[in-house]
Structure 1
Amino acid sequence: MTARHARRWARTVLWYLRELTGEAEYDRYCERHRRHHPQAPVPSRREYDVLRTLHREAHPQGRCC
């Protein structure tokens, strides 16, 4: 395996882990927040998690369990 292939593989694994853990979702939220509300401060990761949990509780979707 060449160094180029190793870097590509590492980037793919990193992308997958960020998607799996939700880190990429927070990054997308921050970008969208900055675009639509440029004057407002961006919530911290902890604040975002609380907002997301409150939203999920207020808007339940059909779940299997």
Structure 2
Amino acid sequence: MSAGLAVLSSGFRGFARYLSGVLGADAYAKYLEHHRASGHSGPPLTEREFWRDRTDRQDANPQGRCC
């Protein structure tokens, strides 16, 4: 019984990560990873600054998206 619950839990976490990626919720984590790997000298944007900037760029340059 416990092994089945562990498999179910693992499957749910995998699905949640997939859905998060599809919806773009992991964009800030990807940004931080890119910021570190690129060797920027300044500090990264805060999460709030990142989402504000991303929204502003999308509003200024609308592209085909579902909503």
Category of TM-score, reference length = shorter chain:
0.5 to 0.7
1:49 maps to which of 48, 51, 63: 51
Return the alpha-carbon distance in structure 1 between the equivalents of residues 63 and 23 of structure 2. Answer: 21
CA RMSD of aligned residues (A): 2.7
Matched residue count: 65
The residue aligned with 1:29 is 31
Unpaired runs of 5+ residues, structure 1, are: none
Give the structure-1-normalised TM-score. Answer: 0.67
Quote how far apart the aligned CAs of 1:37 are: 3.8
RCO higher in structure (CA 8 A, sep ≥6): 2
Q: Which amino acid aligns with 1:43?
A: L
Unpaired stretches in structure 2, ≥5 consecutive residues: none
Relative to the length of structure 2, the TM-score reads: 0.66
Aligned partners of 1:63 and 1:21: how far apart in 2? 11
Q: Which residue of 2 aligns with 1:12?
A: 14
Distance 1:10 1:52, change over 3 A: same
Q: Percent identity?
A: 32
